[in-house]
Structure 1
Amino acid sequence: MNFEQHSPWYAVKGAEEIDSPALLVYPDRIAQNIREMLAIAGNPDRLRPHIKTHKMAEIIRMQQKAGIRKFKCATLAEAELLGQCEAEDVLVAYPLVGPGPARLAHLQNKYPATRFSCLVDNLPALETLEKTVTAEGIRLGVFMDLNVGMNRTGIIPGPEAVALYLKMDAAESLDCRGFHAYDGHLRNPDPQIRAKDCDAAFKNVEALRETLLAQSVSVPDIIAGGSPTFPIHARRPGVELSPGTTLLWDARYGEQFPEMPFLVAATVLCRVISKPASGICCLDLGHKAVAAEMNFPRVLLPQLPESSQISQSEEHLVLTADPAELPPVGTVIYAIPMHICPTVIKYPEALIVIEGSVRGKWNIAARDYHLPLKGPVF
């Protein structure tokens, strides 16, 4: 594709010099997505964005410049990156087992300016965490992880949750900070139905909070939702919001939730590498280059809207289309991932595209599960 004055937003000058496949990110579009997040939230203090989608220090800092102080993450590598970025408040929203509690305690010692917290959804995990923190002579924050219907992690709101929260509140070495309620299963494309489902699930969270307040037990914060329910929870006063995919967006969310105002801000540059038969072509976009856990299509191909994706292997994505519609071997193709989060981690770095030109690279700094930590090895 030649870059012309009216080329699509994703087109890059000098694409013929870029090795493929390559991850491209577009900071101007990321900045617009941050502005949209702030407009929905109404106040940066209500936002606790998840960094699992991008895992990049530069995008963390873009959010910090916009006034966002609190963040959520899923791995200790992401927590370490947030500590390096001097984030004020970090929640590791993933069960910490094995050496996890000790590693988080080490991070709290290493980055004292950052307030680290984690999740608990059962008594043995709470006891292990309290024992670890006490031995380290530090304090950690703890949120109770609630199962509001996703059935992945969390404790179901009810008597057992009340009992667990009371023990959390009584733990001397922990700061009991409230609830975490992730409702990632609520993805109805109809925004009214999605809102109704979200409100129904959240009623159990509110009821649990009222039960604890009646016993004079404080629930300081409630962190709720992900990207699909972000605008719904934004209507609830006092609830912290934790979208993540909103920063880069992807084709799947764009199709499912067209009413949401976010822009796709990442693509994968690939090429036609073969045309082995009439009506068939192959791209260098295999499992190793783009998220492949879903059914086809794995990517949206704006340049090949009439093509169908029929097979994929480690290094190849095979398409079929009218032979007249298939471009020559060597043609640069821009692919918009259907699922951006597991696509990003396939690359050590992203090329930064500003005004149609590559202006540098950003490291996917928290790509691995653990960053090298100085000090004790756990």
Structure 2
Amino acid sequence: MEGNWYEIQNDHEIATPALLVYPDRITYNIKRMIEIAGDVNRLRPHVKTYKNAEIIRMQQAYGIHKFKCATIAEAELLAQCMAGDVLIAMQLVGQNVTRFYELVKTYPETRFSTLVDDLGHAKLLSDISCQNGLITPMWLDINVGMNRTGIIPDKSAQELYKYLSVNKHIQAMGFHVYDGHLRDSDFEQRKNQCDASFGSVLQLKEDLSAQGINVDTIIAGGSPSFPIHALRKDVELSPGTVLLWDAGYGKRFPEMDMQVAAVLISRVLSKPVEGIITSDLGHKSIAPEMNFPRIELLNAKDLEQVSQSEEHFVFKTNQWESYKIGDLIYGIPMHICPTVAKYQYLQVVKSAKVVGRWKVGARGQKISI
């Protein structure tokens, strides 16, 4: 009799807690991502979820050549994988400015770009680009209501993009628009909200066009708004979580039809009092910023998540007698992106066995640059 899809037969070889990944399911998600996009050339997936060379190469095998990332380390990992086009979607500040230009010179086969939302900072980057004898590809980061980064698409945004367009040390690439605050589980509601916020972006593009300044490309959205922006013409798409998926997005966005491709495995390590069991899945092993539940349990569904500390996860159960020390607990993290960063390696599962491991190569701030 076959077991559940997530179960492994050689668990005695794996130290817990561990993060299991399933390449066949990742492949399914890549194909599904391309299907939603309609054209592989529209995709610029974000690597922040997995930070891993093998998953980058899996996408490249399907024709994906543009990527988005958040750190210099992620950008360097992409360059080591011979990615052709890499956007660092964080405004460069401090030492990261110097590191960016070192990256550009070290990996000339990759085109690196970055973004900006402030005129004064754009002038600083222009000066440094000049000092390095380079022309820096740069995107205008637009705030459509998330109020985390970006410039409001008004007259000041027009002035900033004009500056990028005429500056001889900058190549104006287009707009970068992230609407991660739009997460309504009802697709039509989410679409209406997304379309409304995107209207201001299109108006900005139109206003610039009237002044003789063309905006060639718009990069829009993340995983929640990915299927909506896919309905537009001439928009690049940058989902990230879709590669591994998680319980949080799985519950909110079932219409995307992605498969969970990463599972946490832990073990019961104590039964300190009747009705309580404790596993070894602490803060250090799963993203702790979520409210309970932080994990969707797959095989121990009677457990109620009570508390968590650095090394321990405490559960209540009315089936206390049925648990033994060392029993396995499988679960899907509610938030996969910061969970991956807690692991040095992903444990690779094929045919119900862990057959190897993939290094989370960009989990730290630095690889070599």
Check whether TM > 0.5. Answer: yes
2:268 to 272, 276, 282: 272
- Report the counterpart of residue 376 of structure 1 in structure 2: none
- Report the counterpart of residue 74 of structure 2 in structure 1: 78
Residues of 2 paired with 1:83 and 1:132: CA distance? 22
1:206 to 202, 207, 215: 202
Residues of 1 paired with 2:253 and 2:322: CA distance? 30
Assess, with a 3 A threshold, how the Cα gap between structure 1 residues 247 and 130 changes in structure 2: closer, same or farther.
same
Q: Secondary structure at the match of 1:149?
A: coil
Assess, with a 3 A threshold, how the Cα gap between structure 1 residues 180 and 31 changes in structure 2: closer, same or farther.
same
> Is the 1:247–1:265 contact (alpha carbons within 8 Å) kept by the matching residues of 2?
yes
Q: Tell me how far 1:252 sits from its aligned partner.
A: 0.5
Residues of 1 paired with 2:2 and 2:224: CA distance? 32
Residues of 2 paired with 1:343 and 1:288: CA distance? 9
- Report the counterpart of residue 162 of structure 2 in structure 1: 166
Assess, with a 3 A threshold, how the Cα gap between structure 1 residues 282 and 220 changes in structure 2: closer, same or farther.
same
> Is the 2:17–2:266 contact (alpha carbons within 8 Å) kept by the matching residues of 1?
yes
Q: Secondary structure at the match of 2:206?
A: helix
Residues of 2 paired with 1:49 and 1:282: CA distance? 37
Residues of 2 paired with 1:56 and 1:326: CA distance? 38
Deviation by residue 1:244-280 (Cα, 9 ceiling, x = unmatched): 0000000110011111111110111110111111111
In the alignment of these two chains, the number of paired residues is 369
Q: Tell me how far 1:325 sits from its aligned partner.
A: 7.3
Deviation by residue 1:294-339 (Cα, 9 ceiling, x = unmatched): 1001111111222210100000000112135752111011121110
RMSD in angstroms over aligned alpha carbons?
Answer: 1.0
Q: Secondary structure at the match of 1:300?
A: strand
Is 1:56 aligned to residue 52 of structure 2? yes
Q: Secondary structure at the match of 2:232?
A: coil
- Report the counterpart of residue 145 of structure 1 in structure 2: 141
Residues of 2 paired with 1:176 and 1:100: CA distance? 20
1:194 to 187, 190, 203: 190
> Is the 2:140–2:174 contact (alpha carbons within 8 Å) kept by the matching residues of 1?
yes
Residues of 1 paired with 2:197 and 2:2: CA distance? 46
Superposition TM-score, scaled by structure 1 size: 0.96
Deviation by residue 1:204-261 (Cα, 9 ceiling, x = unmatched): 0000000011111011110000000000000000000000000000011001111111
Q: Secondary structure at the match of 2:218?
A: strand
Is 1:350 aligned to residue 350 of structure 2? no
Residues of 1 paired with 2:162 and 2:322: CA distance? 63
Superposition TM-score, scaled by structure 2 size: 0.98
Percent identity of paired positions between Structure 1 and Structure 2? 53
Residues of 2 paired with 1:114 and 1:122: CA distance? 26
- Report the counterpart of residue 360 of structure 1 in structure 2: 356
Residues of 2 paired with 1:250 and 1:211: CA distance? 40
Q: Secondary structure at the match of 2:285?
A: coil
**Which structure 2 segments of 5+ residues have no match?**
none
